[in-house]
Structure 1
Amino acid sequence: MSTPGLRTVDPARHTSWRSRRLDPDHSLGLRLTLAASAAFLVLVPFALLALLVLGAWAPLHRLDGAITDVLHGYAVDHPVWVTLMRVWSEVFAPLPLRAVALLVVIWLLRRGARRLAFWAATTLVVGGLFGPLLKLLVGRDRPDLLDPVARAAGYSFPSGHALNATLAAGVLLLVFLPYAGRGVWRVVLWVAAVLVTVLTGVSRVALGVHFASDVLGGWLLGVAVIAATTAAFTSWRAHTGLRPVHPAREGVAPEIERHPDDT
């Protein structure tokens, strides 16, 4: 029985912001906080790397130069290797990857998974726009080689190929993980995503059109964008009452395999 003249105090209204963020039962609590923190922690090394590139930090410059010289020397002596790297770089260039991603977005829309399609499109568009903008802001020139085996236009940091390969591989992985089950196909998907991301970046350094730090910057930025948009998508899920998910194990929308309209 309540005492007249006294208001009932709702304990939830007086919990601190930090307590709510770290509360596992809160819809926007622990899981969102950890995901957003992961995105921030990935963005920090990218920002540090960008500052080192802008400041022309001597140790980074020497390391980039040494890696470029070794790979370029190997490329000059091995034309077959150059051909393989060119083919890989063209097949997994930003434009073909965006075309594949567009087909997946259309497929998701036809299945009724509108929110998942929006997440995929947003991740690719936002991440893709960051690349050219940062290239202009940093203004780093590409490697200047006496006997180049390939050429590319524009500025160098971050690598657009590495960025877009990371974005596309990450989006496709998180969309199709629900179809992989718990067996070997999950491993196959992860291996394929990592191979596409890594080899696409390596091909750009092997062809002498990017420094190693350009590729590293593209990878870091791509992972940060995926982590941020995934955090936003999983928070929306919690807010609408859908069960929490572990994106790395089951994708961002496990329901798509059975109930695409829920995503």
Structure 2
Amino acid sequence: MSTPGPRTLAHAHHPSWRRRRLDPDHSLGLRLTLAATAAFLVLVPFALLALLVLGGWAPLHRLDATVTDALHGYALDHPAWVTLVRIWTEVFAPMPLRALALLVVIWLLRRGARRLALWVTTTMVVGGLIGPLLKLLVGRDRPDLLDPVARAAGYAFPSGHALNAALTAGVLLLVFLPYAGRGRWRVALWIAAVLVAVLTGLSRVALGVHWASDVLGGWLLGAAVVAATTAAFTSWRAHTGLRPVQPAREGVAPEVERHPGAA
């Protein structure tokens, strides 16, 4: 009966990179791999959309122009509606949303949830830096309307309002899901997060300061950043021996509700 050689023993103690990535018991195993894959899959549609915008794809431009013309015509005929949309887009602008996230970070720090506070900060900062950089790289002009109801400076793609709304809605949803319990409160929290992200993005198209694809790009990029940072945070959880979680159902740190200092 043959005994395993040194190389075989070394392989048994040091499994291949592929086996470690697919090993559920490894700290960077199956769950992290699936989470990172999810983040990548969200980023792929954004990358394809960005390429279409950079290439000036005619069908996308026609669709953008059709949506903008329809909403702009409605805005010109309904000034009260324009006022309401302006209020919404100011209340949920990037700076107020970042201030809200900062308040949540301070609240988490006071509760001793330092790593969770770091996750919120990292998500907002990473998204906040990537957005302006991509605007410069893509260099897309905003809609140029004959009779605009609102104006905005800078480049268009991706929409900063849509991006920051998606970031903020995502982090607040995943922070506060443990407090929502089960049933209707959890559903209500999900609905609130989606509505804030969707309506904030649509307000920019309604005011004629962004193309519809700018807003879609902001949503996709925000979702990709949240997915990526969530993957990193759940990796840390696995490394410290905490039980695996389903972020969409439990949030990223369900133990923070009962034991704040553990997050």
2: CA distance between counterparts of 1:167 and 1:205? 19
Root mean square deviation, CA, Å: 1.6
Q: 1:64-143 residue pairs with structure 2 within 5 A?
A: 64-143=64-143
CA drift of 1:81 comes to 1.3
Q: 1:131-210 residue pairs with structure 2 within 5 A?
A: 131-210=131-210
CA drift of 1:12 comes to 4.1
Cross-structure match for 1:60: 60
CA drift of 1:17 comes to 2.0
Moved over 4 A (4+): 5-8
1: CA distance between counterparts of 2:62 and 2:5? 72
More displaced 10-residue stretch of structure 1: 8-17 or 123-132: 8-17
Cross-structure match for 1:246: 246
Query: Structure 1 residues 11, 182: CA separation in 2 closer, same or farther (over 3 Å shift)?
Result: farther
Cross-structure match for 1:45: 45
1: CA distance between counterparts of 2:12 and 2:104? 42
2: CA distance between counterparts of 1:179 and 1:221? 27
Q: 1:252-263 residue pairs with structure 2 within 5 A?
A: 252-263=252-263
CA drift of 1:21 comes to 1.3
1: CA distance between counterparts of 2:165 and 2:5? 61
Cross-structure match for 1:217: 217
Q: Deviations over 1:205-224 (max 9, x none)?
A: 00000000000000000000
Give the length in aligned residue pairs.
Answer: 261
Q: TM-score w.r.t. structure 1 length?
A: 0.96
1: CA distance between counterparts of 2:15 and 2:106? 44
2: CA distance between counterparts of 1:119 and 1:23? 25
2: CA distance between counterparts of 1:27 and 1:243? 11
2: CA distance between counterparts of 1:53 and 1:6? 57
List gaps (5 residues or longer) in structure 1. Answer: none
Amino acid at match of 2:203: S
List gaps (5 residues or longer) in structure 2. Answer: none
More displaced 10-residue stretch of structure 1: 50-59 or 11-20: 11-20
Helix, strand or coil: the match of 2:213? helix
Helix, strand or coil: the match of 2:28? coil
Q: Deviations over 1:180-237 (max 9, x none)?
A: 1112110011000000000000000000000000000000000000000000000011
2: CA distance between counterparts of 1:6 and 1:118? 46
Q: Deviations over 1:228-254 (max 9, x none)?
A: 000000001101111111000000001
Helix, strand or coil: the match of 2:9? coil
